[in-house]
Structure 1
């Protein structure tokens, strides 16, 4: 065991109870139980079924795909993301983040979705999230299709008012209807603006690139004030300057919701998704976006559209699991070792 690992293990062993009075939650060590053993929870964290009491942040599954329009299967996404998260550890070597030293974290299981009624599922998500937010806990969702974000934003809006948003996606998801339906995975952000829970002038969309229906596809978004960065404008670039600009625009106090559709990444890296689009972001750019949210007041986040039925090697779910850990690492209050490798 390295000196760093010993130092972290020593610190964690001294924390027999957390800052909020419950058992300190850390992932199960692979030295205690092999990674292929035990119940599959996100990062092998303790399961605190349906209850965010005492937690600073939680992982929650939303296994739904009623809102999809092409390839169904994202209902299996949360389970596969959990499986692929078994290889992940507690300390972030690249950034120095040690979230489990400063935050109480657990997996609280899945929202009870209704597989026959998408409107009821959105209501269930809102209610479930309302109980999480009452505990002042920051939820990180494992999706599930992008329709789910309407439910999470409705809960966020009740607590915080209209939130700012950073959206990584191949699609804007601001259509008015799909097949005549107001609630689907292509409509959540139009509904959220109409509901008054999302501030479009503080909403930043990154990676859009899908072929459209007409030149007026983005007319509504522009009129509302959405800030759009197309994938073609990200080619061969670091996205660190873009994220610096977004952080300056939003500021450190405004509540921000981060939503990451895995199809924002090019299907060469993440083929397991329902609506793949060529010419997408790289995984390195995805990391730059999430890490670039550090310093913002992130009040919730999700990773959506992982479809295991088209993810034969598990790389899409594995990428999603790692991005969720990256999201945990940029939450307010996370402890950082800035000089750990000196």
Structure 2
């Protein structure tokens, strides 16, 4: 009989019991018999302002104990279709960004070789670069769908090429992503110059600012994304500063004028049916999250990502019947 990994049943074991894994999943470091793995990436050396996101995975896991297995928005019982684990945290070398990038990418390789979909919890946003390096090694260039208030395509910070504000320029330069099939969603806030958004577009990214997104329904956004990415393998990156600081105060570079958690749920659900190969959720800073609402929001976005994996598997199974 094939082993299937599912969460502890919170109707028989209280949620405050046990080791804090994501969604109360078993902590098993395996690549076998699983569809997805939740993985912490506790690294924040790429931060340029407030730091402490290395403690993000721990905080998100703690709040994820509130999650249940059925997603009414997508009408999917996750574990009817999926097996998944909390894989634990990847090893990093604090203070040494290029060493840590290599370590992160190498540790993801065994999972990707087994077609496991990683749900990665940062950490600052700079960790998306080694995530994408691992994805590109397995799948070739991927399409990036980025929910964020910042484009993160600056050339350098303080004369350095690797920070949480530069990785999506590096990803194009390293040919990890196909920017012409990628979308940056939610850009807003003050800029260093009028060229900042244009720089991302010049790289090939489609940029949908907050003002532009406000004019779209979730369904219309979904259509824009589907037209853009087609059947390409897709990596989704969700920076919690996509949300308004009222909903996500616990982050290092908040921007006012953002989105509610409800709106974020609706947007993310529009990704169903895409060729989704990986996800990350980044920039949760627990020290600035006194009521833990940011960690709760991030946990629920992770739940939506897992629900998309289950939704896609159900649709694939139905087509094969």
Superposed pair shares fold, TM > 0.5: yes
SS of 1:335's equivalent in the other structure is helix
1:72 aligns with 2:72: no
RMSD: 1.4
- Is 1:217 the counterpart of 2:196? The answer is yes
Equivalent residues of 1:156, 1:163 under 8 A apart = yes
Deviations 1:275-301 (A, max 9, x none): 000011222221122100001000000
Determine helix, strand or coil for the equivalent of 2:185.
strand
User: Is contact 1:67-1:118 (8 Å) kept?
Assistant: yes
C-alpha distance in 1 between matches for 2:217 and 2:179: 25
Shift of 1:132: 1.1
* 1:334 and 2:321 matched: no
Q: What is the CA distance between 1:190 and its match in structure 2? A: 0.7
The aligned residue for residue 73 of structure 2 is: 94
Question: Which ranges of structure 2 fall in alignment gaps of 5 or more residues?
Answer: 316-321
Contact 2:183–2:228 under 8 Å retained in 1: no
State the alpha-carbon separation in 2 of the partners of residues 208 and 31 from structure 1. Answer: 41
- 2:236 corresponds to which residue? 258
The corresponding residue for 1:125 is: 104
Deviation at 1:236, TM superposition (A): 6.7
**Partner residue in 2 for 1:48:** 28
Measure how far apart 1:235 and its partner are.
3.1
- Pick the aligned partner of 2:185 from 189, 199, 206: 206
Following the alignment from structure 1 to structure 2, what is the Cα–Cα distance between the partners of residues 161 and 262?
27
The question of whether the paired residues in 2 share the 8 Å contact of 1:126 and 1:155 is answered with yes
Q: What pairs with 1:130-209 in structure 2 (closer than 5 Å)?
A: 130-209=109-188
Aligned residues: 314
Which segments of 5 or more consecutive residues in structure 1 lack a partner in the other structure? Answer: 1-16, 337-342
Paired position in structure 1 for 2:219: 240
Cα distance in 2, alignment partners of residues 335 and 39 from structure 1: 30
What TM-score results when the alignment is normalised by the length of structure 2?
0.95
Which ranges of 4 or more aligned residues in structure 1 deviate by more than 4 Å? none
Answer whether contact 1:48 1:108 (CA < 8 A) is retained.
Answer: yes
Please state if 1:298 is matched with 2:310: no
The offset of 1:95, in angstroms, is: 1.9
Q: Offset of 1:240 from its aligned partner?
A: 2.3
Task: Determine helix, strand or coil for the equivalent of 2:87.
Answer: strand
Measure, in 1, the Cα distance between the counterparts of 2:198 and 2:183.
16
Does structure 1 conserve the Cα–Cα contact (< 8 Å) formed by 2:60 and 2:295?
yes
Match of 2:318 in 1: none
Q: Which structure has greater helix proportion? A: 2
Distance in 1 between the 2:303 and 2:70 partners? 10
Deviations 1:50-89 (A, max 9, x none): x322211110000111111111111110000000000111
